Amino acid sequence: MFSKTILSSALLALPFSILALPAPASPALFRRDAGPVLEQDSVNASLPNVTIYATGGTIASKGETSGQTVGYSVGLGVKDLVDAVPEILNISNIYGLQVANVGSQEVDYNILLALAHNITKDLAKEETTGVVVTHGTDNLEETAFFLDLVINSTKPVVVVGSMRPATALSADGPLNLYQAVTLAASEKAKNRGAMIVLNDRIGAAFYATKNSANSLDTFYATEQGQLGFFINQVPYFYYTPAAVPGKPHFSVGANTSLPQVDIIYTHEDNNPALVKASIESGSKGIVFAGSGAGSVDDAMLAVAEKQFNSTHTPMVVSHRTVDGFVPVEDVQDYMIPSGFLNPQKARVLLQLAVNAGYSNEKVREVFDALHP
């Protein structure tokens, strides 16, 4: 069943070598330049070509019993994922690259850059129709948002996960993967930026967020809505492609690392010392997850202002509520409101802006442009 599937390793860039390799021990081992090897003579020329970039997560996890839906561990490789859905080989030639095999809480800039570098090269090839990234759902929205900002292609980039491990009754991974590949191979999916597929829904990576820690129907953007839906495994879009206003593009092609940017979650009885601690430990930018529309208490603001005046570290204020907007009127002059972006997405944007060497004024312009 797997004869049409070509696998290559991010470690060795050799076809089929991944079948024998254990999961890499450390992200530092990844070769960022090892793209998929396309072997056109062994594929069905009438089918589209989709590459699956596997990173781990629940979709690649096994439990002890079919009833177990928590406490499982990551252990399936990209070939296992495809083997579980042989039907996808009828709709696309599939190429596989094991970029990592971790819970998404372990995803770091090594993995993000490995994805960005390989996907950029892959999509530049005429024969590549689209790509799928399999990912743990916990931090999936951060990787999807990152890819949305750094991949410059009209071709589909689809990020997919599952809420139940592969061994569970009614595991959702196989159908989610089938739909993700369908979408990545679809003409209709072009020019829509990075997308998230779970539970029949197609969401915009820019806006969709994980809303429930446990239920299958977890990815959506309450205010901005979904892009589309699957019916009988056919993707339907509600609208023709639309653009996020002012969505920036960042190049990370030359990067081997990304700057540290921290989030400080505010609450009653805040600890103001966290601001200084963050900067002293190397942070080049701070996002405050403010309460309501970006409230931060006076004691923390006093430390933040002092730190800003001495270090000019850019400071963005977001909202710890799931939805909402931080307006400029609600933040100090030296701080930048995140607008609609939640703290985890604001952190990725600030990290990319700092990485690009932007001045604080230019960072402000980037955030402001998203809500003209």
C-alpha to C-alpha distance for 133 and 95, rounded to whole angstroms: 12
CA distance 121 to 186: 20
Q: Which two tokens stand for residue 39?
A: 């072997």
Q: Min. distance of Cβ 157 from ligand ASP in angstroms?
A: 19
Question: Across the strands, what pairs with 201?
Answer: 198, 229
Shorter beta-carbon distance to ligand ASP: residue 143 or 186: 143
Per CB under 6 A, the list member of 63, 161, 173, 324 interacting with ligand ASP is: 161
Q: Which residue is nearest to ligand ASP (CB)?
A: 136
Q: Is 165 in the site for ligand ASP (CB under 6 A)?
A: no
Is 104 annotated for ligand binding?
yes
Q: Are 168 and 66 in contact (CB under 8 A)?
A: yes
Q: Is 55 labeled as catalytic in the residue annotation?
A: no
Least gap, CB of 63 to ligand ASP (angstroms): 12
Tell me: is residue 137 an annotated ligand-binding position: yes
108-137 mask for ligand ASP (x: CB under 6 A)? ----------------------------xx
Catalytic residue among 5, 51, 58, 182: 58
Residue 63 within binding range of ligand ASP, rule CB under 6 A: no
CB of 322 to ligand ASP, least distance (A): 18
Containing H/E element for 277? helix 273-280
CA dist 134 and 84 (Å) reads: 14
User: Is 163 a binder of ligand ASP (CB under 6 A)?
Assistant: yes
What CA–CA distance (Å, rounded) separates 337 from 319? Answer: 9
Closest CA to 1 of 130, 74, 94, 77: 94
CA geometry: angle 219, 222, 228, nearest 5 deg: 60
Query: If binding means CB under 6 A, how many residues of this protein chain bind ligand ASP?
Result: 9
Q: Which residue of 138, 297, 330, 368 would you call a contact of ligand ASP, by CB under 6 A?
A: 138
- DSSP alpha helices (H): ranges in 105-246? 109-124, 140-150, 173-184
The answer to whether the CB of 262 falls within 8 A of the CB of 286 is: yes
Nearer to ligand ASP, 208 or 296 (CB): 208
Is 48 a binding residue for ligand ASP by CB under 6 A? The answer is no
Answer yes or no: is 138 a known binding residue.
yes
Measured distance CA(101)–CA(59) in Å, rounded: 11
To ligand ASP, the closest distance from the beta carbon of 53 in angstroms equals 15
- Between 67 and 372, CB nearer to ligand ASP: 67
Residues 83-112 that bind ligand ASP (CB under 6 A): 103-104
d(CA 362, CA 250): 13
Q: In sequence order, what are the residues at sequence separation of 6 or more whose Cβ sits closer than 8 angstroms to the Cβ of residue 46?
A: none
Which positions are annotated as active-site residues?
58
Q: Which residues does the annotation place in the binding site?
A: 104, 137-138
Residues that bind ligand ASP (CB under 6 A): 57-58, 103-104, 136-138, 161, 163
Indicate the annotated binding residues for substrate. Answer: 104, 137-138
